[in-house]
Amino acid sequence: MSAADVLVVGGGPAGSSAAWHLASVGARVVIVDRARFPRDKPCAEYLSPEASRILSAMGALEACERAGAAHLAGMVIRAPSGARIRGEFAAATGFRGFRDRGLALRRPVLDAILLDRARAAGAEVLEGEQVISVLRDSRHAVCGVRVRTADGTERDHRARMVVGADGLRSVVARRAGISRQAIGPRRLALNWHYRGVGGMSDFGEMHVEREGYAGFADVGQGLTNVAVVVPRASVRGGVGGDPSAFLERWIASRPHLASRLAGAERSAPVRVTGPFAVHARRAWDKGVALVGDAADFFDPFTGEGIYAALRGGELLAPYALAALEAGRPRDADAALRGYDRARRCAFAGKWIVERLVALAVGAPWLLDRAAATMEAHPAMANLFVGVAGDFVPAREVLRPSFLARLMLGGSFRARPSALPLSP
């Protein structure tokens, strides 16, 4: 095939977002993915209120609504002590998201919608092609990929730039030599759908236990997404070839969760992913950039994944275009270096929050204290949930005054000077 401007490896939210944003302004974009769509993937399937802004820009929001996406009014977090943090996206915190609700939609449906939008913008999509290596030019810059098809045939796809959107185990990151490091606690996530879960509402739920945590969320069509996240060390091979049995034991040992699933019917096989908590030292190299989980895959407690994937593609587009238009290789490199800086600026606060949350989840006494404070002061809970909704800046919960009150108690008032981020 003729060389593309941009070759995107991975057809999930990150890849589709990058492809749409680039193809919409005239770039020749090709997406390659090892899977054939629709395909399922382990995921909490949560889309924050601010994710709807990007979905709307891509022309995908109405399609998600028509597909039966569930609406989420906020989050409830249950600490090991039983204290509950209840935060509402529409609460008067001084900040307002693109919408006053989040969404939840099954990944096979969401991914198909996003890929269709990328195609509509002009991107070509090649399914069933697994990337096995990257191609390099005379200056050692990445200039394409080699793929293997289902029948074992190998072929090369060349491009002026490659975007690695191929997830946690990114082949592009490894083959391009972009180093990634494990940070924080290492955990595994087990995920499946149930029909007929008791006590569900329009709030997402997180239940933090002494060892791991469980998330419950309505994803539409009468289904509940149930995800259990446990320390990798605690599993000790217990998942093995039978993750369903491991989950049944884990849930059964926690009566307040087991009662919710009594009489419910599991509608899909249990899926396992991880260990996560992986961070790229930088998200670019000559001729290549990383987006989504390929760059960073943090603890899923705050539900950052899909928004970060969509936002990453949006962030990359202007810098990728600048790189394509650059007259000299060093100017192209400078453009991608600019993307890395912009990405770090955009996500730095959330990264810190996610690390603090991971610490609290691993130290139940710490979460119990924080939960007791936020239970007594709903304005603090609303701010925290707003950060998880991606419309409240992370700095609001990282202020020394907020953290001191969180741990020590005392009165709290939301800052009246805080202004809405979006109309």
Helices 378-388 and 400-408: angle between axes, nearest 10 degrees: 120
Percent of the chain topping pLDDT 70: 91
Alpha helix locations (H) across 51-142?
51-57, 61-66, 107-120
Alpha helix locations (H) across 121-254?
171-176, 232-235, 243-252
Specify the pLDDT at position 320: 98
pTM: 0.92
Specify the pLDDT at position 268: 76
| Helices vs strands, H then E, count in the chain | 14, 22
Measured CA to CA, the distance from residue 90 to residue 401 in angstroms comes to: 24
- Give the pLDDT band (50/70/90) at residue 185: low
Specify the pLDDT at position 116: 97
Longest dimension (CA), the chain: 66
Answer with the residue of higher pLDDT: 380 or 246. Answer: 380
Is residue 423 pLDDT above 60, yes or no?
no
Helices 378-388 and 364-376: angle between axes, nearest 10 degrees: 120
> Residue 249 burial by CB count (10 A; 0-12/13-18/19+): exposed, middle or buried?
exposed
Determine the average pLDDT of the residues in 322-326: 96
pLDDT digits (tens, 9 = 90+) for 203-241: 999 999 888 899 999 999 899 999 988 877 666 555 556
Answer with the residue of higher pLDDT: 8 or 269. Answer: 8
pLDDT digits (tens, 9 = 90+) for 267-291: 877 888 776 767 778 899 999 999 9
- Give the pLDDT band (50/70/90) at residue 422: very low
Specify the pLDDT at position 176: 92
Specify the pLDDT at position 232: 73
Specify the pLDDT at position 85: 92
pLDDT digits (tens, 9 = 90+) for 366-413: 889 999 999 999 999 999 999 999 999 999 999 999 999 988 876 555
Specify the pLDDT at position 410: 60
Specify the pLDDT at position 22: 98
- Give the pLDDT band (50/70/90) at residue 105: very high
Determine the average pLDDT of the residues in 91-107: 89
Answer with the residue of higher pLDDT: 296 or 22. Answer: 22
Q: Write down the mean pLDDT value for the chain.
A: 89
Specify the pLDDT at position 420: 39
Specify the pLDDT at position 92: 67
pLDDT digits (tens, 9 = 90+) for 114-151: 999 999 999 999 999 999 999 999 989 999 999 999 89
pLDDT digits (tens, 9 = 90+) for 338-359: 999 999 999 999 888 988 888 8
Is residue 329 pLDDT above 60, yes or no?
yes
- Tell me which amino acid residue 386 is: G
Answer with the residue of higher pLDDT: 420 or 315. Answer: 315
Token digits of residue 373: 């404070």
Specify the pLDDT at position 418: 44
Strand 46-47, strand 102-104: pairing: antiparallel
Specify the pLDDT at position 236: 56
Domains of the chain: 4-69+105-182+277-351 (3.50.50.60), 74-101+362-408 (no CATH), 187-273 (3.30.9.100)
Answer with the residue of higher pLDDT: 5 or 191. Answer: 5
